[in-house]
Amino acid sequence: MKFWDWYLKIAVGSAMVGGSMELFMIKTDDKVAVLESEKRAWESSPEAQAMRDALNPWRHQGKEAEKSS
């Protein structure tokens, strides 16, 4: 094969980048899990529901129109 050394360099570089990404994901796994659980807890809270309703008051208008017809 003519360019075997070039392919080998690309393979080694790709493996190093992939390995470093995996290590980063392993190191930050607990932090991400905590942040996601806090986000889900807040999104299901009454404060978040009130904020969604305040920011989009016409959200339920289609359902009300279907009920009245």
Q: pLDDT per residue over 6-46, tens digit each?
A: 999 999 999 999 999 999 988 888 788 888 899 999 989 99
d(CA 20, CA 28): 12
Q: Output the pTM of the full model.
A: 0.48
d(CA 19, CA 50): 44
